[in-house]
Amino acid sequence: MRSLLICLILAFSFPSITNSCFFTPQWKMYIMNGTPDNILMHVRSKDDDLGKHNVTSNGYYHWSFCDRLDSTTTFDAEFWWGESYDCLEAFAKLARTTCDRFGGIGFRVVYCYWQLRSDGFYISPVNVSFPNPSWAFAKPWGSGGTLCSTHIVSNKA
């Protein structure tokens, strides 16, 4: 009887296990367009292609997911802004270290925000107005480099 009571208490202690991650946090990612124009973006992981999205000025694209237990989940994003093209590891080491202050512990939600500006890409663990010290500059437009995954194969819209 005592063990049944303990099981019931534990079962009702977790209000929505089906909508949350068990051993890893649930990630909620936002890519916000802080440029004066629309931006076309394509977001994908090795397992999921989230498609292309036309994001208006001051608009955003959002997705959520559970990280793999071995922390190998990555999401890449490609961006077309007028004549400019760039790519970014939207969720990889930089997002983990910037946005997750508790090191991958489950049963919680981690928010991570990317801001696309005319001068480049910024990342923040909180959604605050730009400019703000919470926004860390990640890279300028057109730089490619280490923040582009090796499995992005094309820059064609």
Give the pLDDT mean for 120-132: 94
pTM for the structure as a whole: 0.78
Domains in the chain: ranges and CATH: 19-147 (2.60.40.10)
Helices (H), the chain: 2-13, 93-99
Higher-pLDDT residue of 128, 106: 128
* In the predicted structure, residue 47 carries a pLDDT above the cut 70: yes
pLDDT band, very low/low/confident/very high, at 11 (cuts 50, 70, 90)? very low
Spatial CA neighbour of 96 closest among 53, 65, 50: 65
**Which strand ranges, in their side-by-side order, compose the sheet holding 109-117?**
60-66, 26-33, 109-117, 120-124, 136-139
* In the predicted structure, residue 77 carries a pLDDT above the cut 70: yes
Give the pLDDT mean for 78-91: 92
